[in-house]
Amino acid sequence: MEEHAVIEVTDATFEAEVLDASAQLPIVVDFWAPWCEPCRTLGPLLERLARDSKGAFRLAKVDIDQNKGIAQALKIQSIPFVVAFRNGQVASEFVGAQSEGVVRQFLSRILPDEADGLATEGESLTAGGEVDQAEIRFRAALDLRPRHPRATLGLGRILAASDRADEATTVLAAAVTADGAIGDEIDRLSAELRIRADSASDEAELRARLDAVPGDLATGLELGRLLVGTGRHEEALAVFLEGVRLDREYEDAAARRAMLDIFTLLGRDNELVDEYQRKLSQVMYS
């Protein structure tokens, strides 16, 4: 892993190489510039420690002269500026050239701990089909560090897949807010579980009830949830939108909240989300 211990990162690659990658291992970002004298001392030290870590963390180098977008977004005023990311979030930081002892103390606070190791084992076991053992690892990780994002997501997925939706919802609701890929996946799974709740009815029966009583809001909600459960998101959005049109406040705005959950489930870049966000706004503000 030594050849990947130090990488160059740009404005265009920062999200993938730093925020998303930090879900798998800590990413330490060194913001520097060629004209910065202290950077010439600190940079080689960080690079050596990254290579010596044998993959425990990765060093991402950002030349702020060539990548002003990141520097402006993080409001960097002085360099060298070093920031450690874990699970898409800032874990620690420092400014200025520091001694090797100080840098090692900084690294000790952000390197993987026992909970991280258990979460990694759980992910490997899940990938290998050893779900029962994976669940044990994820629970052990959460005992050591409650709300650990990767352990939370791993356990939530296992519980959701084994018809323990209520427990999965509870586990996910307790998760620490995480940015990047892990946070997005936790949000999507939470939305899917909320939306699929109480969706075990028979579709033909529900449609017959709606034919008999057009505008039956309770039946419409059940039908929408059932459609989501079978992956028919566009049909579900149409049903929920009609519920909003008929009574936007019914059951604490349940139809609108279901639409928002589908938007989260599908992701911001989905064309269906764009279309129904516009339609929902038109209904809400017409």
Is-contact 227 235, C-beta < 8 A? yes
d(CA 147, CA 134): 17
Matching residue, tokens 């994002």: 149
Q: Which of 39, 97, 191, 227 is catalytic?
A: 39
Please, are residues 158 and 138 in contact by the beta-carbon 8 Å criterion? yes
* 82 phi, psi to nearest 5 deg: -120, 130
Catalytic residue status for 39 = yes
Judge whether 168 counts as a catalytic residue.
no
Distance between CA atoms of residues 59 and 47, nearest Å: 7
Which listed residue (25, 28, 36, 155) is catalytic?
A: 36
| List of E strands, the chain | 6-8, 27-32, 58-63, 81-86, 89-95
Residue 80: asked if its preceding bond is cis (omega within 30°), the reply is: yes
Q: Which residues pair with 86 in a beta bridge?
A: 89
Active site residues: 36, 39
